[in-house]
Homo-oligomer: A and B are copies of this chain.
Amino acid sequence: MGEYEQREEEVALPFDPANTANDGSVIFIGKVRSEWTSRPDCPKNLVQARERGHGAKVEVFEPYLEGLIGLEKFSHAYIVYWMHQARRDLIVQYPRFKDMPTGTFALRSPVRPNPISLAIVKILSIDAKEGIIEIDAIDCLDGTPLLDIKPWFDSVDNVKI
């Protein structure tokens, strides 16, 4: 938690969800495998991750392997993961790239009441027997716990601006 210190003008909740959250529980179904092993080295978003040119993998634990049946029909998927190292109590944050304090729900920061992150990634290959999915890029640390994989649909998930 030490890496996520509270800066001036940032606002913390009067309680810490890390200690009080009990409305539902998650189970880790796998791990994200990336080239990034420390926070300073980790890209800030998927665009940066793609620019740096390393691929990444998603590892699905054994009990869940059958859940991958049919995923090979999709070009892209949502990867949903749990930012287990992030503090959860900052509701207003002041990232260095912003010119004013900004609400957590207007940021993609890992720091949020529920540290759930997501990325839409390109599927490069699937080894359903080993539970390994190769993807084009990811912006989280190696070993980040996996919560879910969802197929991506052009009709539902693409925004026509």
Contacts and interface: CB of A to CB of B under 8 A. Distances in A.
Interface of A: 11, 13-15, 17, 20-29, 45-47, 60, 63-64, 66-71, 73-78, 80, 82, 84, 91-92, 100-108, 112-116, 118, 120, 145, 147-159, 161
A161 B69 contact: no
Most chain B beta-carbon neighbours within 10 Å: one of A60, A112, A153: A112
Nearest to A103: B69
B114 A66 contact: no
As for how many copies of this chain the complex holds, the number is 2
Contacts of A64: 13, 91, 105, 113
Given A22-B25, A27-B113, A67 B82 contact: no
Contacts of A161: 75, 154, 158
A74 B59 CA distance: 33
A71 B105 contact: yes
Contacts of A69: 92, 101-103, 106
Contact of A67 (B76, B105, B108): B105
Nearest to A61: B113
